Amino acid sequence: METKKHNRWLVAIMCTILMIVLGTIYSWSFFQKLIVAEYGWSNTAVAWAFSASIAFIGFAAAWGGINLPKYGPQKLAMLGVGLHGIGYMLAALAFKMESIPILIIGFGLIGGIGLGLGYVTPVISAAKWFPDKKGLVTGMVVMGFGFGALLMSKIIAPVMMNIAGQSLISGFLFIGITIFVLGIISAYFVVFPPAGYVPEGFTPPVQKATQTDVPQITAGKAIRTNKFFFMWMLLFINVTAGIMFIGFQSPMMQDLWATFRPGTDAIALASIGATLIAISSLFNGIGRFFWGGMSDKIGRVQTFRWILGSQIIIFIILLFVGNPYLFAILVCYILLCYGGGFGTMPSFVGDVFTPRLMPVVYGTILTAWSAGGVVGPQIVAFMKDRFIDSPANAAFYSYIAGAILLAIGFIFALFLNNKPIVEEH
C-alpha cells in the first residue's frame, strides 16, 4: 500500500468504528429477557449464547494475535466482523427453528470467533501508524469496544426491532446485515503502514543496548510461572464480576424497577434497561483510560488491588439496594472497573514479561476473558432460574457470589508485585 499521502487518521477512525461494531456484543442483556419471554427458554440456556461468544473471543484473539503477521490485519478484520454479522443472522435462523443449539453455535461459537479475530487487529494497526501518539490513539480505539453497547442498545437494536415489528427473527436478521455492512466497510481500512513508515516530524527513539531480556526466558516458561497464574486470575475474576452485569444488567434493572414502580409497562421497562446499558457502556470505555492512566502513577498491581478491593464494597452495598437509581450508579462503577482491567493488564504484562514476550503472553492471558465470560453470566442465570419467582433473591445470591470471588482476587493481588519476571530467575 502506498504511504505517500495515506491518511493515518482515517485508519484510526475506522479502527475505532470497527471496535464499536464489535463491542455491540456487550448489549446482550437488551435481548436476554425478550428471548426468554418469547420462547420460554431458561435464563441459563439463553445466557449460553452470550457466554459462548465471550469464551471464543479470547481463544480466537490469542490465535489471531499469533497469526496476524501471516494473514495481515485487513483480512483478519474483514473475516472477523463478517463472522460476527453472520452470527446474528444465524441467531435469526435459531429463532425461526426455535433451536437453542443453533443459537449457541451460530451466535456464540461462530460469532464469538469472529469477534476474537476482529478484536486483535485495530489496536495493533493503529499503534503502528502512530508511534508518536501511541497512547492516545490506542486508548481511543480500545475505548470504542466499550462504547459498542451504546450504539446497539440505543440506536441499532431499537430501530431494527421497530422495523421488524418487534419480531426477534426479523430483528436479528436486520441487525446482522447492519453489523456486516458497517463492519466490512470499516475493516477495509484496517491496514499496517508500509515497512519503514515514519510519521512526518517524528524521530524514532534510539534503541539502547540493555540487559532487560537477559536471561532469555521463553514464552512457554513465562506462562508457567506463578506470576502469570496470579495475573491470569486477577483478569478472570475482574471479568467475571463485570460481565455478570453486562449479560444481565437490563433484566436486573427491569426487575428492580418493576418493584420500585409497580405497574410500569413492558415497553417502558425495556427502555429503562436499554438506557442503563448505554450509560454503563460509557463507563466501560472510560474505565480503560482512567485505570490505565492510574496504573502509570501508582503501579499495575496496586491498581488491580484498588479495582478488586473497591468492588467488594460495591457488591456488599448491592445486597441492600432497592433503589434503581442507586443500583444504576453502582453498576456504572463496576463497569468502570471492568474496563479498567482491560486498560491495565496490557501494560502489566509488558512490564513483567518484557516487550519481546508481549504478543504471546498477552494473547494467552486473554483466555481469562473467555473463562470469565462463561462463569459470570452463568452464575446470574443459575440464580435467576433457581429463584424464578423471586428476582430479589436471585440478585442477592449473585452479589454474594461476586463479592466472594472479588475477595479471592484481592488476596491473589497481595501476592503480586510489579517486578519483571527476568529479575526472579
Encode pLDDT of 100-110 as tens digits: 999 999 999 99
- In 3D, which of 23, 20, 32 has the Cα closest to residue 274? 32
> According to the per-residue pLDDT averaged within each range, which of 136-150, 291-305, 354-368, 401-415 is highest?
401-415
Q: What is the pLDDT of residues 385-401, one digit of tens each?
A: 888 878 888 889 999 99
Q: In this model, does residue 138 exceed pLDDT 80?
A: no
> What pLDDT is attached to residue 215?
54
**C-alpha angle with apex 100: 105 to 165, nearest 5 degrees?**
105
> For 222-249, what is each residue's pLDDT tens digit?
888 999 999 999 999 999 999 988 878 8
Residue 293: the pLDDT is 80
> Could you tell me which of 26, 48, 329 has the C-alpha nearest to residue 154?
26
Given the C-alpha cell 454479522, which residue does it identify? 85
Residue 33 confidence class, pLDDT cut points 50, 70, 90: confident
- pLDDT-derived band at 355 (thresholds 50, 70, 90) equals low
Predicted confidence at residue 208, as pLDDT, reads: 52
> pLDDT higher for 318 or 201?
318
Give the pLDDT confidence score for residue 213 in this predicted structure: 45
Q: In whole angstroms, how far apart are CA 3 and each of 49, 78, 195, 211, 409? A: 42, 21, 10, 35, 47
pLDDT above 90 (res 29): no
DSSP for residue 225: S
Dist. CA 72–CA 191, nearest whole Å = 7
| Segment 253-274 mean pLDDT | 86
How much is the pLDDT for 250?
85
pLDDT at 255: 87
Query: Options 1.10.287.3510, 1.20.1250.20, 3.40.250.10, 3.30.497.10; which CATH number does 219-425 get?
Result: 1.20.1250.20
CB 139 within 8 A of CB 292: yes
Contact 94, 100 (CB under 8 A): yes
pLDDT of residue 164: 93
Split at pLDDT 50, 70, 90, the class of 345 is confident
Q: pLDDT at position 206, please?
A: 62
Q: Are 317 and 330 in contact (CB under 8 A)?
A: yes
Owner of C-alpha cell 503477521: 69
Domain boundary assignment for the chain = 1-196, 219-425
| pLDDT in the model for residue 6 | 62
* Residue 393, C-alpha cell as written in the block: 433473591
Residue 87: pLDDT band (50, 70, 90) is very high
Does position 349 have pLDDT exceeding 80, yes or no? yes
pLDDT band at 67 (very low <50, low <70, confident <90, very high): confident
**How many Å apart are CA 90 and CA 225, to the nearest integer?**
41
Q: Are 307 and 238 in contact (CB under 8 A)?
A: yes
Asked if residue 4 has pLDDT above 50, the reply is: no
Q: State the Cα–Cα distance between residues 345 and 127, nearest whole angstrom.
A: 17
Residue 342 to residues 234, 291, 295, 332, 337, Cα–Cα distance (Å): 11, 9, 12, 16, 9
Q: What is the pLDDT of residue 135?
A: 60
Task: For domain 1-196, give the CATH number.
Answer: 1.20.1250.20
| pLDDT of 94 above 80 | yes
Please enumerate in sequence order all residues whose Cβ is within 8 A of that of 369, keeping only pairs 6 or more positions apart, or say none. 54, 57, 58, 61, 235, 236, 239
User: Residue with C-alpha cell 476473558?
Assistant: 369
Residue 326 has pLDDT above 60, yes or no: yes
Q: HEC profile for 89-127?
A: HHHHHHHHHCCHHHHHHHHHHHHHHHHHHHHHHHHHHHH
For 226, residues 6+ apart whose C-beta sits below 8 A from its C-beta are: none
Mean pLDDT in residue range 354-369: 78
Q: Is cis: bond before 377, omega within 30 of 0?
A: no
